Structure 1
Amino acid sequence: MRSNANKNIIYSIVLLLLVAIVYLYRQSNSAPKAESTVLNPNKITLTGNTMGTSYRIVYLDEEARNFQQSIDSLLLVFNQSLSTYIPESEISRFNKGDSLIYDSPFFYPVLVSSKEIFEVTEGAFDPTVGPLVNLWGFGPEGPQLNDSIRIEQLLPLINFDNIIFDEKRVKKGKSGIKLDFSANAKGYGVDISAEFLSSKGINNMLVEIGGELVARGVNESGEIWKVGISRPEEEERPENLYSVIALHNRAMATSGNYRNYYEIDGKKFSHTIDPSTGRPVNHGLLSATVVADDCITADAIATALMVLGTEKAIALQQKYGDFEIFLIYNDAEGNIGSYVSEGLEPFLSFVNN
């Protein structure tokens, strides 16, 4: 009797399970299907150091190819062309002499882009400002005394119009002039890294060097890449975001004065030097974020906006309109405010901390 009872119990349990399985199957077939937009190729992340900072590159590749060695080699050659911190780089040799015949494919394009932004910003962006940056203690030669007489001596050498170049060579129109591409070289490095990946068939990527970046395609979830803008605080706290920008097939660069400065007798000296005065800027603009088609442009314009200040920065963007801006500033009462250009508004959201 107990054996038959056990058999009946087991039979009842099995029957109930079968009923449940049939019910769940019917429910799953009758439920509406959701279309998945999630891409599922392999996600590759590369990190390393370049230009005195770090880089991070994320891309999607179904073949799971690792381009670390190629990227490092590319950036090494890039630095050998444009880094003022390398004594025998192309730019260092040009600064020591009077002219240069290009060794690499990088020097001429950065000159062309620099000339364009120099003219658009009416000199607010000027790669010949390097000697003044050094004089104020923010260059490769380290801190120096900000002697007013020395500033006046250097000012006549600060003018990109004195750089004469073509596709083969560059020369100085005035003896003693020097070049420094620290305000757009990182952006250019981002561009060439992104172009390299594109040449390998990579369509979805986020390339970042020292905070300047290019986003193309989508991330591993099939969504537009999203990048954060840090709050303008002296202590670096990357997790403390002010806003987030959705970046679709565009480049972005941010420049700010709130971290790179020094203080003497209670007075802060910004690393942003106004080429027209030879002295650090003194206004309420804390950071300028620029979104453009390429990162070399975004990087250079972001630097120029920090020279111009809030009102002139807004006027420049409204005049040309082929780039978007997001500004964080101190108003007359010392309160933090922000400005976002019309074309960027749909892609920007503020973070509540």
Structure 2
Amino acid sequence: MQKRRLLLIVLALGILIVWRQLHKEDEAKVIHLTGTTMGVVPYSIKYIDMAGRDYQKQIDSILVDFNNSLSTYIPSSEISRFNARDTVTYETPYLMPILNISQEIYKKSYGAFDPTIGPLVNAWGFGPEKKLHLDSAFIDSLKQKIGFEKVFFDKKIATKQTGVYLDFSATAKGYAVDVIADYIYEQGIRNFMVEIGGEVVCRGKNNSETYWKIGIEKPEVSPERGQLFATTFIKNTALATSGNYRNYYEEGGRIISHTISPFTGYSIRHNLLSASIYAPNCALADGYATACMVLGLEKSIQMIEENPELEGFLIFSDENGKLNYYGSEKIMSSIEILK
């Protein structure tokens, strides 16, 4: 009886293998699209589609429209014209949603995430303009223009106080990931990964029928890509990581990071090195990750624990100068530490 059962199992497996060989054309195909957006930001998109459809042209077209709306590097963009005129009637589907998202993060991050930080970012040399000569008086004058409460909007129009400059670079990559993920979903595709500049949304499973696996870099001050600190499975959610170990310069023996505090007007200095935030969408994850880098370790943990929609993985330097980490309870089962 046992031998007969084993024989039937082997026979069934053999039939399945032969059937799959004869019907390879009917199997779902893995499509991998790569390119650049926002100037030099790379993207990588993978999806599983029975029809093997290639959406490269459509995705590139969407990303061009997205940049023409929200890029401060394009003088004719919607956001550039808003910055120049103080009032805008929405012309694209992108500006009002990012204003809503920004307002939510601004409130829940105690003001640490603030898209009006633009004048300070530009002054420190991390925006479309050249670095300015800075002193405390000039920084104090720029701080008078900072504060998202100076921006007002409804479903049709947005206005702001004169001199306020909006810059959504802290959420642009994450928001673009959401836009492309929504487009892919609308095509009837349910298993995909969209990654732009390290920010990612994953839905469903990969071609191995497991959840998508993403690496979290070891935060080392180097212009080159470093080793991985951890890997994480992404289960139908978004992940964004922010840190100060890529975009920086040295001045007077001091490292000036791209994260500028809206509270002080200066480049931040604390022991939080990297913040990875899991959220329902990537714009939220991106914005909250940026807020963490302003807030530092303790306040970031407080913010994560106060918001049920968030999970976080923070890498920091402990009192001995060694890398350590904090992970919120629900997410740690999906993370493997590699150090």
Q: What is the aligned counterpart of 1:292 among 267, 271, 279?
A: 279
Equivalent position SS for 1:94: helix
Q: What is the aligned counterpart of 1:230 among 192, 214, 217?
A: 217
Deviation at 1:259, TM superposition (A): 1.8
Match of 1:79 in 2: 67
| Residues 1:275 and 2:255 are matched in the alignment | no
Distance 2:125 2:310 in 1: 31
Aligned pairs (5 A) from 1:285-324 = 285-324=272-311
Aligned pairs (5 A) from 1:119-268 = 119-172=107-160, 174-236=161-223, 238=225, 240-268=227-255
Name the amino acid aligned to 1:315.
Q
Paired residues of 1:281 and 1:307 also in contact (CA < 8 A): yes
Distance 2:202 2:293 in 1: 24
Gaps of 5+ in 1: 1-24
Name the amino acid aligned to 2:206.
N
Paired residues of 1:127 and 1:180 also in contact (CA < 8 A): yes
Paired residues of 2:220 and 2:226 also in contact (CA < 8 A): no
| Residues 1:113 and 2:82 are matched in the alignment | no
Distance 1:113 1:32 in 2: 56
Identity %: 47
Name the amino acid aligned to 2:89.
I
Gaps of 5+ in 2: 18-25
Name the amino acid aligned to 1:246.
F
Deviation at 1:333, TM superposition (A): 2.4
Match of 1:337 in 2: 324
Deviations 1:272-312 (A, max 9, x none): 01101111111011000000110000000000000000111
Q: Which moved more, 1:140-149 or 1:268-277?
A: 140-149
Distance 1:299 1:60 in 2: 26
Deviation at 1:26, TM superposition (A): 9.7
Match of 2:56 in 1: 68
Deviation at 1:222, TM superposition (A): 0.7
Paired residues of 2:30 and 2:49 also in contact (CA < 8 A): yes
Match of 1:19 in 2: none
Paired residues of 1:40 and 1:220 also in contact (CA < 8 A): no
Name the amino acid aligned to 1:169.
I
| Residues 1:348 and 2:319 are matched in the alignment | no
Distance 1:28 1:269 in 2: 69
Deviations 1:122-176 (A, max 9, x none): 110000001101111111113222232211111111000000001111111x210
Paired residues of 1:215 and 1:225 also in contact (CA < 8 A): yes
Deviation at 1:334, TM superposition (A): 1.4
Distance 1:336 1:265 in 2: 26
Equivalent position SS for 2:51: coil
Deviations 1:159-204 (A, max 9, x none): 00000001111111x2100100000011110001000000000100
Equivalent position SS for 2:125: coil
Distance 2:187 2:115 in 1: 32
Distance 2:284 2:7 in 1: 52
Distance 1:132 1:239 in 2: 29
Deviation at 1:265, TM superposition (A): 2.0
**Cα gap change, 1:28 to 1:289, in 2 (>3 Å):** same
Paired residues of 1:78 and 1:106 also in contact (CA < 8 A): yes
Deviations 1:69-95 (A, max 9, x none): 000010110100000010100000011
Equivalent position SS for 2:201: strand
Equivalent position SS for 1:184: helix
**Cα gap change, 1:309 to 1:29, in 2 (>3 Å):** same
Name the amino acid aligned to 2:288.
I
Distance 2:140 2:99 in 1: 26
**Cα gap change, 1:27 to 1:120, in 2 (>3 Å):** closer
Root-mean-square deviation over aligned CA pairs: 2.1
Deviation at 1:30, TM superposition (A): 5.3
